[in-house]
Amino acid sequence: MTRLLYVEASPRKQNSYSSRVAQAFLESYQETHPDHDVEQFPLFQVDLPPFTAEGADQKMENIMNRFAGGDGIEAIGEWAGVMAEIGRLERADKVLLSSPVWNYSLPYRLKHWLDLVVQVGVTVLVNEKFEYIGQLIGRRVQIITSSGSSYEERFPLPTDGTKTDFMHPYLEHIFRFLGFEDIRTLRVHPTGIPGPDLEKMVAEKEEEARAAAKTF
């Protein structure tokens, strides 16, 4: 059965614009693919496994083990949590990720999840030429982000350069690094100026998301 994993990275539930547009995507997706399995994974509501000194040491130990020709270290302690989260992602054929932009970048819970699932030695292997080969091939991801301002604008002065966007280049890079070949992005912005234009923009994005889901 085809599985879609929905990773929700805004904690704001019904107030979240990224979640709202993702919800429109999901409803349309489920209408188009009624037999597909959808797993919801709200990052601010689930207990993500810890990844501290033990996990970081195990990560490096695992890489050394793989370089030496082993099959990887035993899934105990924090590494068990890492392997469980990798398993959840590996079971998914498709990923829907919705997230706010926080301080030009990712909310910390999303980074935490990525630090669990992006593991050289497991989800990314290294070949004889020391090239990284992402293992999550044949998968696609739809990213839906929302930000208070529009990133085309200059900030804070008109003479300043374009706002620095660390979020989209990073997300697109990290999914490519994991092996995803089909990476689609939908931006919901600017959400920071209340009024009828905001509602109109969000309604248009919901419509765009519904259409995008039909071909996902």
Ligand X SMILES: Cc1cc2nc3c(=O)[nH]c(=O)nc-3n(C[C@H](O)[C@H](O)[C@H](O)COP(=O)(O)O)c2cc1C
DSSP for residue 120 = B
- Only one of the segments 78-86, 88-96, 101-109, 193-201 lies at the binding site for ligand X (rule: CB under 6 A); that segment is 101-109
3-state secondary structure of 147: coil
62 lies in the binding site for ligand X (CB under 6 A): no
* Residue 154 tokens, joined: 């200059």
Which of residues 87 and 192 has its CB atom nearest to ligand X in the complex? 192
11 DSSP assignment: S
Among the candidate windows 8-16, 55-63, 70-78, 125-133, which touches ligand X by CB under 6 A? Answer: 8-16
Give, for 39, the enclosing helix (H) or strand (E): strand 37-42
Under the binding rule (CB under 6 A), the answer on residue 25 touching ligand X is no
> Which C-beta is closer to ligand X: that of 123 or that of 145?
145
Q: With 0-12 CB in 10 A as exposed, 13-18 as middle and 19+ as buried, what is 200? A: exposed
Instruction: By CB under 6 A, tell whether 10 contacts ligand X.
Output: yes
Closest by Cα among 100, 113, 105 to 189: 100
**Coil, helix or strand for 117?**
helix
Stretch that binds ligand X, among 25-33, 40-48, 128-136, 143-151 (CB under 6 A): 143-151
CA 105 to each of CA 15, 145, 146, 153, 193: distance values in angstroms, whole numbers, following the listed order: 20, 11, 11, 17, 20
Residue 53: CB minimum distance to ligand X, A:
27
**100 touches ligand X by CB under 6 A:** yes
**Among residues 4, 19, 28, 134, the one that binds ligand X under rule CB under 6 A:** 19
x-marked contacts with ligand X along 102-121 as a string, rule CB under 6 A: xxx-----------------
Residues 161-200 that bind ligand X (CB under 6 A): 191
End-to-end CA separation in angstroms for the chain: 15
Q: Looking at beta carbons, which residue is closest to ligand X?
A: 100
Residues of the shown chain interacting with ligand X in the complex, contacts defined by CB under 6 A: 10, 12, 16-19, 100-104, 146-149, 191
